[in-house]
Amino acid sequence: MLRKNSKGMFGTRIKVLLTLLPVLFTGSCTSIPELQVQYTLPSPSEPLKGRAVALTIEDQRTSPSILGRGAEDDFEGFSGSVSLSIADAGNKALKVGIFQVPNLMKEAFTRRLQNTGLKVLSESTSGVPRLVINVKVFSLDLIGREWLAKMSYEAKLIGENGAEATQFVNGEARRYKVIGREGVDILLGDVFTDMVNSLNPVRLFTQAGL
């Protein structure tokens, strides 16, 4: 009788463990940290309506990682992807996808250019100027008790006649760390919005004589 009872108890324990395993694995998957960026477009205007540009993103960062050493502990298991939401001025943000940095930049700069009336092409086309965005920095770090977000890029408009115009944009913002990763998404969204909206397509076209 004792042997029979002990086998019954053993079997029950295995069933409980097997039932719990999916729950445990599900919990570990949902705990993977994710960076979220909200990009807010400026008020729409179409000074370049009827024009077109071919957009290229060049990733020239010295490190492929977004996180600095100070931020790594708070984002253990981070995949390197960023969730992007886009909002028109005064409207609710809508999530558009999860991207690695080059495609994150392409999506946001495409929306910025379209906001000025430009038709944005993904490949070079005869008779259409090229806009090359060279991404220099896109990073998040924790320095002491402050989150530090940085973004820097070079925008170069190139016409078929060889004319060029260049704009350099760089900036950073800090936010005091309170609890865990709280406030990081707001910080990144603010920097990202300011930097992308600093691109001035009208001035680039004018300076290149296009």
* Residue with more model confidence, 14 or 170: 170
User: pLDDT digit string (tens) for 96-118?
Assistant: 999 999 999 999 999 999 999 99
Residue 8 has pLDDT above 90, yes or no: no
| Span 136-142, average pLDDT | 96
Contact 142, 70 (CB under 8 A): yes
| Span 42-56, average pLDDT | 93
In three state form, how does the secondary structure of the chain look? CHHHHHHHHHHHHHHHHHHHHHHHHHHHHHCCCCEEEEEECCCCCCCCCCCEEEEEEEECCCCCCCECHHHHHHHCCCCCCEEEEEECCCCCCEEEEEECHHHHHHHHHHHHHHCCCCEEECCCCCCCCEEEEEEEEEEEEEECCEEEEEEEEEEEEECCCCCEEEEEEEEEEEEECCCCCCCHHHHHHHHHHHHHHCCCHHHHHHHCCC
Which residues make beta-bridge pairs with 149? 140, 173
Which residues make beta-bridge pairs with 97? 84
CATH number at 44-78+100-207: 3.40.50.10610
d(CA 198, CA 26): 41
Which residues make beta-bridge pairs with 86? 39, 94
| Span 5-33, average pLDDT | 43
Residue-level pLDDT at 11: 41
Residue 6 has pLDDT above 80, yes or no: no
What band does 31 get if pLDDT is binned at 50, 70 and 90? Answer: low
| Span 10-21, average pLDDT | 38
For residue 122, the tally of other CB atoms under 10 A from its CB is 10
How far is C-alpha 166 from the geometric centre of its chain's CA atoms? 23
109, burial (CB in 10 Å: exposed 0-12, middle 13-18, buried 19+): buried
Interacting residues of 70 by C-beta distance below 8 A, sequence separation 6+: 141, 142, 143
Average pLDDT, the chain: 85
Residue-level pLDDT at 7: 45
| Span 190-210, average pLDDT | 95
Q: Which of these ranges, 6-20, 29-43, 56-70, has the smallest mean pLDDT?
A: 6-20
Residue 198 has pLDDT above 90, yes or no: yes
